[in-house]
Amino acid sequence: MKASSPLWIAALLLVGAAGAFWGAGSVPVALLCLAAVAAVVALSGVTRRILGALLFVVGVAGAFSGHWLAIAGGVLVVASGALQVALGARMPKIGMGGQKPRAHDPETDMWRALERGDDPTDDKTPGGTTSNE
């Protein structure tokens, strides 16, 4: 299983839980589940595990409303929280994969020098002195 699979499983569990809580009339808990989707994707490591533990507690508390949809939503939130606690450290953080270093571009370097206020056409030797003295 790829490292990103548990991340997307946890996010989909939370989306399903949000739908279940919304259907049960627990709109605040549904909105919390939707916000947790963004947090699950954005966080990493220990903070994602802490979020998982908090979601575990929210899932148990949310299931106590008695409506069968709320119970189903609570089970989904508990499953997502348990997955994050168990595998949260191994799940990737958003934007961390597939990034390549940029190739060196002299024209871009000249524009950056102008933005810094440097004159890119000034002939400086590596010692920091100019050759036009």
Tokens of 44: 């990493």
Tokens of 48: 């994602």
In percent, the amount of the chain with pLDDT more than 70 equals: 80
CA gap 97, 28 in Å, rounded: 33
pLDDT in tens, 13-24: 999 999 999 999
The pLDDT score that the predictor gives to residue 97 is 52
Across 50-61, average pLDDT? 92
Q: Is 0.75 topped by the overall pTM?
A: no
- Give the CA dihedral 15, 20, 26, 31, nearest 10 degrees: 10
Residue 88 has pLDDT above 70, yes or no: yes
